[in-house]
Amino acid sequence: MEIPDKLYFKIGEVSELTGIKPHVLRYWESEFTGFRPPKSRNQQRLYRRKDIELVLNLKDLLYRQGYTIAGARKKLSEIGRQGEQMGLPMEKDAWRGLIREVRHELLQLRNSLKNLPKE
């Protein structure tokens, strides 16, 4: 599945991309500690690419592999510990996404600096 090249996604967009209903996404936020998308000033959830990847992982664990919420929570924590212990490198797509996000933020910063009044 291709995740669009955007910095933030609203809950409806995440729902469409992943096939998970918004109320389920909100429930998962309460059940999985690593899944807490920040909120905008209007209190809208702002999902990032890593949040969408986590949703897809949870969907696979819960719906395809048949894990319970507690089992999926344990599995994710085991995967996290193994990755830290082994020093696993990021996948190529993860690096690309990170670079895209940094580039986008740098361009926004440059544009905002251009708009500052001259002294």
Shared domain for 4 and 25, answered yes or no, is yes
- Enter the pTM of the model: 0.65
Range of the domain at 119: 90-119
Under 8 Å between Cβ of 4 and 11: no
The pLDDT score that the predictor gives to residue 92 is 61
Shared domain for 94 and 49, answered yes or no, is no
Give the residues of the chain that fall short of pLDDT 50: 84-88
Q: How many domains does the structure of the chain reveal? A: 2
- Which among 20, 49, 21, 19 is positioned nearest to 37, based on CA atoms? 49
Question: What pLDDT digit, counting tens, does each position of 84-94 carry?
Answer: 443 445 566 66
Domain containing 60 — which CATH number? 1.10.1660.10
The pLDDT score that the predictor gives to residue 82 is 60
